[in-house]
């Protein structure tokens, strides 16, 4: 298996633009997580899906953030409108049963 | 508040030397503790997972220890290699298989010099 695949690897956008991050989890995994990592705050959980259903979105910072998982092999994290303080590395991770997490390589987002 | 504190924040070691990273946590209840390695520009990769009943676990040159009584863990790197240069993150879970309840430490950045 190729592991968790995220795209794009880098995204540079201007404030106010819509940003969509994509994730393909490992086949057979039933849990998917979106994390944000910054130097100041480290890794923070944004949202957690189990069997494609959002279970815990308490980490989503505000209404500008939304996430979907239309099927077991694809998820998106959308920011609309984007702001400079959204600049961070966004990771997607998947697991079977929530025990061992497998992370993607992340999307480096820069909002100018 | 559940917290995971790691020390030191960073360290530099010479290739071939050993080093030990520390992790103290206040998470309660406690189910398991994980150590992850994160290379620059990559996502974290799991090194070890220990439950409260395990006090040591090895993965190659990496050995993790756990003292659930004092709520302390350490990660020992033996005979360091240049490829060990990375951030090491301690993660604690209060509930088994609760991937959304993890508390992450701030990490220790290790630089191995030739």
How many other CB atoms sit within 10 Å of the CB of residue A22?
A: 16
Q: Is B106 on the interface with A (CB under 8 A)?
A: yes
Q: Are the C-beta atoms of residues B61 and B79 closer than 8 Å to each other?
A: yes
CA atoms within 13 Å, Cβ hemisphere of B88: 29
Q: Where are the beta strands (DSSP E) in B8-71?
A: 10-14, 19-25, 32-38, 45-51, 56-59, 62-67
- The shortest CB-CB distance from B42 to any of A45, A55, A105 is to A105
Name the pLDDT band for B7 (thresholds 50, 70, 90).
very high
Instruction: Tell me the per-residue pLDDT of B35-62, one tens digit each, with 9 for 90 and over.
Output: 999 999 999 999 999 998 899 999 999 9
Instruction: Tell me the per-residue pLDDT of A18-49, one tens digit each, with 9 for 90 and over.
Output: 999 999 999 999 999 999 999 988 999 999 99
Q: What is the pLDDT of residue A110?
A: 97
Give the gap in angstroms from C-alpha A45 to the nearest C-alpha of chain B: 7
Give the gap in angstroms from C-alpha B43 to the nearest C-alpha of chain A: 5
Q: Is B77 on the interface with A (CB under 8 A)?
A: no
- Cα(B78)–Cα(A2) distance, rounded to whole angstroms? 30
Instruction: Tell me the per-residue pLDDT of B58-99, one tens digit each, with 9 for 90 and over.
Output: 999 999 999 989 999 999 999 999 999 999 999 999 877 677
- Cα(A83)–Cα(B75) distance, rounded to whole angstroms? 38
């Amino acid at each position: 298996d190729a592991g968790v695949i995220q795209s794009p690897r880098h995204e540079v956008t201007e404030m106010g633009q819509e940003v969509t991050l994509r994730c393909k989890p490992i086949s057979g995994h039933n849990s998917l997580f979106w994390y944000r990592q910054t130097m100041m705050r480290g890794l923070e959980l944004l949202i957690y899906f189990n069997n494609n259903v959002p279970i815990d979105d308490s980490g989503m910072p505000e209404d500008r953030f939304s996430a979907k998982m239309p099927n077991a092999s694809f998820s998106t994290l959308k920011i609309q409108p984007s702001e400079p303080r959204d600049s961070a590395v966004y990771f997607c991770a998947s697991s079977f049963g929530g025990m061992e997490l497998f992370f993607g390589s992340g999307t480096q987002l820069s909002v100018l | 508040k559940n917290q995971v504190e790691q020390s030191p924040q960073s360290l530099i070691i010479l290739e071939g030397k050993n080093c030990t990273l520390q992790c103290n946590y206040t998470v309660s209840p406690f189910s398991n503790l994980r150590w992850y390695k994160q290379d620059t520009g990559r996502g974290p990769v799991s090194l070890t997972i220990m439950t409260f009943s395990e006090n040591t676990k090895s993965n190659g040159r990496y050995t993790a220890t756990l003292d659930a009584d004092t709520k302390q863990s350490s990660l020992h790197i033996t005979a360091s290699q240049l490829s060990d240069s990375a951030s090491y993150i301690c993660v604690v879970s209060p509930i088994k298989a609760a991937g959304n309840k993890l508390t992450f430490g701030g990490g220790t950045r290790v630089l191995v010099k030739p």
